Amino acid sequence: MDKIGALFATFIKFSLFVLLILGAIFVLSPLIIVFLTSFSAGDLNLSLLSSLTFANYLEAWERGKFLLAFFNSTIVALAVTGLQIFTSALAGYALARLQFRGRETLLLVFLATLVIPFQVLVIPIFLVLKWGHLINTYGAIILPTAANGFGIFLMRQYFASVPIALEEAASLDGANRLQIIWQIMLPLSRPALVTLFLFTFIGEWNDLFKPLVFANVPELKTVQLALADFQAQFTDNWPLLMAAVVIATIPVLLLFLIGQRQFIQGIGSTGIKN
């Protein structure tokens, strides 16, 4: 009976493994098709695998002018990410540790901003940016998302999970608030910081709306704008279009693969303590 039970358990595990593999193939099949199509030398047909070429990537990179687009997207994504980490860390620490009237109400206000679509605020934001002479500048793409309710909530939850005894010990050693945040809280909050970095950077890299509305000039064209223009020009050339899609996707994919462990740990820690 023990052998039968062991064989049955092994069969169940093997069946689950096969189902997971099939599920992964099903989920990844669109990406595989895009990737293979991007290497196609001609029309899509059954001989696709026998006519793979890297020339599509070189042509897409040159004709899509992705070098400038990559530069602009990197500048914008890094700037917004840095500002969000700075504002979220300070606001999250204040909401987690400082005692002041209206703290819980303020947290609810930050959370309420998550349900307001950015498109609803586009007109007042546009008017403010126009008043500040920021339209068609980097500031127009960076400043509207320099702070985020999700980032504040994420850092608040993670700071709340850190034992307060660590701060009390540092305070007895003469550390002030800023030293405690910089030397103790931020190093301990690395998973949350990586999670916020990934969410923000990937979101800004894939953003089409802000550059399209606030800075729609050739000098500030981002990757998504370049990809949209490329799609309009090469609608019928699927191999070239798929090569451009892969070019625009590779940076965020690599970034996520590098930080996925810290990302999972950070997400799992956000609800530890209220």
What is the fold of 64-268?
Answer: MetI-like fold (1.10.3720)
Residues pairing with 185 in the sheet: none
Which stretches of the chain score pLDDT less than 50? 46-47, 271-274
Q: What is each CA distance from 143 to 68, 135, 204, in whole angstroms?
A: 21, 11, 12
DSSP calls for 172-212: HTT--HHHHIIIIIHHHTHHHHHHHHHHHHHHHHT--HHHH
Is residue 142 within 8 A of residue 76, CB to CB? The reply is yes
- How much is the pLDDT for 90? 93
- How much is the pLDDT for 73? 95
Domain ranges in the chain? 2-56, 64-268
Helix (H, G, I), strand (E, B) or coil at 38: helix
- How much is the pLDDT for 1? 54
Report residue 88 as tokens: 């979220």
